[in-house]
Chains A and B, each alone.
Chain A
């Protein structure tokens, strides 16, 4: 945003009121010109909460009781020809498969703390089956095997889920797994479903 900052407001304040003095679009399009010159107001996603776990809002949504943060990021979905073959100098990736690791300063903007410029909401790939790369274990801090737990949830094997430690986690713990997953799995949803299943069978 043009002027990121804290605002004290009442619960249920209208998002458009909060954003009134912040020209988000112009800010984004200035910074983004090189990628996406056609960024328009509807191409910005407002999120109640942070980018990992927050809920998507429309521009006129009211802020919720638990929300203390509003995030705005650009919608993705632009299509590039043979994008998976390009060096990808400006694509953020946890792995080093894109050459963007040569240019790390693009991910942190010290000027006004808006780190999310480079990110957008593209899924960046199609849904696939689990490929067992090491990424889950690298972003998952507990002594739990995330992939096995996810699989137990998918197969609705309650006993296995309990043994693998479903009680110790929340869906938010898997947010990072979801971000880095090359198979584009919806890890949080899977865990949520698993917890839901437990809740109903308890």
Chain B
């Protein structure tokens, strides 16, 4: 086992947790990510292989499949972002390649993203200061890509009244985190 110790996107050795009023923002580092893009002509085969892997049909546009060991978010036509527990899936790309074979192109994305989980009261009031996503209409399992303060992000809804996950570009974790906390202090 190698001897290089990781840093969190915010530059710490442990995830950062902030609470304003009854809402908590948690830096999530236990997530392994990989993008899966079906090869041309292999779309059906890829979807079938994914169904086997996920135990459900791969999510359609605007949707996420939230489960273990693998969760999936629609990322584009015949393209998904798969997530799993980092501890058991650090080599997620290799694992997926083994499962999906040549039906898809797979790219490790684990460290391309930072992840912040919002849990508690007042999510809608905070989110409406961050992005155009209509939180009042958002249901569990909805997932969409949008822009937060010039940053392209995924917004994944676990429970509209209690849990939302935001994926953003890792290098800008600090800016994204600042925007989220500023909105929390303003809205709550």
Does B bind A?
Answer: no
